[in-house]
Amino acid sequence: MASEEIKSKKQRNDECIINCLPEDLIERIFLRLPVSTLLRCVSVCKHWHNFIRDPQFVVSHLQCAPRDVLLFFQQESVSGEPYPSDAILIDEAWSPSTCAVPVIGPDDFLFGSCNGLLGLYTKTSTIKVANLATGECLHLEKPAKNVKGDHFSFYSFAFHPVTKEYKITHFLGDCVEGRPHNKDRFSTIQVYTLGDEKWKDIRTPEALSLISVRNSGVVNVDGKMYWLTEEMLSSWQHAVMSFDLWEESFAMIQLPAACEDHDYFGPRKFWIRDIDGKICIVTAQTSRYGPKALAGELQIWTLDNTVEQQRWSQKYNIKNPPNYIPGPHFVHRDRILAQLCSDNVYAYELFGENCDVNLCKGVNLLDFSPRKPYNMQSYICVKSLVRLDVYKKAGIVRRPKQLEGWQLKKWETWKRRLSKLADLQCRMHKFEHHLLEVAETMGKRCQFLKDKQHNIAEHVLTELKQVLQHKPDNPDQLRSIRRLNWVGYSQAQQKLEVRLSKTEDMMKVVEQAQDMLDQDASVAGASSSDSPDKEEQGSLQH
């Protein structure tokens, strides 16, 4: 009997209509599904599990996955209040997410995004590689302990297209009295390949500027890492350094010919960025009165690699530049991401290439207040099926030894703010429903008075019907505040204020109806006990 049941189950699996389709058609269907759906499909049957977990399918799905923008804001203190690290995903419709990214902790610093994997670190714990979509995490031992002045630009995360290896790099500042001291220069790049047993130290041809790295950033393109360094003999006194992650070799690339600077502007700034897989140099003069504000024109040059030579070409020349250009990716789907002094992040559409461009048709993505300006990073990210469990047996993999994340006491104030907002939302839901129940009861009584030709009953009944049209959501289906990022948290606060204002208007209508019913002797069952608890509404207003 048992064998017949097993046989029938196997027969049902074999006769599944999807499994009867051609293999290439099944693949085309699965390639269109998001990672969240595919993770549920894995447990349907063994055939689907093997199909979805196949490395070739993972690569194919990665190539088809939509590219989103990830805006990252590192943890900071604003007016004495702590704000945790947080990320905002911008989808293809340029709509910002409101849900928190669970793999990012409150003290994490983001230094890379690659094939759906995020590279993060904290000042006191390990380096963390995490899958944005699946939540899988891998903690690695840091290459250097107690590094002073550490910065996210000193780390980098990349995938080599030839070797198919993931690599993490770290610029190690030159030692002072035998201790690492990141301040001015570095002579060592520390490299780790996921799955290896230890970090590898590689000496640079000469001591290079660590300050230039911090100010201009680092990008990875086609298995090579690029950054800016000082070159006093060149026209712009900067040059691009490259490091081949496979051959572990260095090369220097000269910048394009310098343009004439205007005397009425301040010093020139440089950034290295990535536009559609090409090395890009962004430069502009600063304001003489505000060293962080850009002035004049923003020039964007891209490096064209050919078999014969490397050649720079000017891609954009932007008049009236924004205040801040995030990195390492700041151009996405023909729009440039920029931060303005008005505490807003905009996406401006770019028209034309190799010509003068005026920023116009800006889309306001989000208001980042009260967070500080110049504290945002921008990455291109995808949601992928790339697995990390294949690297967990490496000797360098660690478990964090110290308390971290939301377990730390310093985040108790922030958690209390979340709990208070969640409690207010819950109480508001319950109060609204209680108020509507009372309004519905009074509506029936007012209808009775209207039938008796009461002079004001019709007016009150009309207002009560308008109140009943604004029925709130079910209080049992409240959204968890803890799952919101700070954009969602701000929106929840604003919505709560709007609902409170509407509730006050509803309360006035209900009180007017109650007064009318109390005054009319023809309604014998009217009682003030049906009115909502005014003390509860007072606490909500407070």
pLDDT tens digits for range 210-266: 999 998 999 999 999 999 998 877 778 899 999 999 999 999 999 988 777 887 888
Q: What is the mean pLDDT of residues 154-166?
A: 94
Q: What is the mean pLDDT of residues 483-501?
A: 84
Lowest mean pLDDT among 75-89, 317-331, 352-366, 440-454: 440-454
Distance CA 43, CA 50 (A): 10
What is the Cα 188 distance to its own chain's centre? 31
Confidence class for position 536, pLDDT limits 50, 70, 90: very low
DSSP characters over 203-225: EEEEEEEHHHHHHH-EEEETTEE
**Residue 62: pLDDT above 80?**
yes
Q: In terms of pLDDT, which residue wins out, 343 or 185? A: 185
CA nearest to 252, candidates 261, 260, 263, 243: 243
Q: What's residue 43's pLDDT? A: 82
**Residue 467: pLDDT above 90?**
no
**Residue 338: pLDDT above 60?**
yes
pLDDT tens digits for range 344-366: 888 888 766 555 556 666 788 88
pLDDT tens digits for range 379-416: 999 999 999 999 999 989 988 767 778 888 888 888 88
Query: What is the CA angle 379-382-385, rounded to 5?
Result: 140
Q: What's residue 133's pLDDT? A: 92
Confidence class for position 195, pLDDT limits 50, 70, 90: very high
Query: What is the CA angle 421-426-432, rounded to 5?
Result: 120
Count of C-beta atoms within a 10 Å radius of residue 370: 13
In percent, the amount of the chain with pLDDT more than 70 equals 78
Whether the model pTM is above 0.75: yes
Query: What is the CA angle 92-105-65, rounded to 5?
Result: 25
Q: What's residue 473's pLDDT? A: 53
Domains annotated on the chain, with CATH: 20-61 (1.20.1280), 65-398 (2.120.10.80), 411-518 (no CATH)
Q: In terms of pLDDT, which residue wins out, 192 or 528? A: 192
Q: What's residue 286's pLDDT? A: 85
Distance CA 60, CA 125 (A): 35
DSSP characters over 496-519: HHHHHHHHHHHHHHHHHHHHHHHH
Confidence class for position 72, pLDDT limits 50, 70, 90: very high
Phi, psi of 46 (to 5 degrees): -65, -35
**Residue 520: pLDDT above 80?**
no
* 323 neighbors 373 (Cβ within 8 angstroms): yes
Q: What's residue 525's pLDDT? A: 47
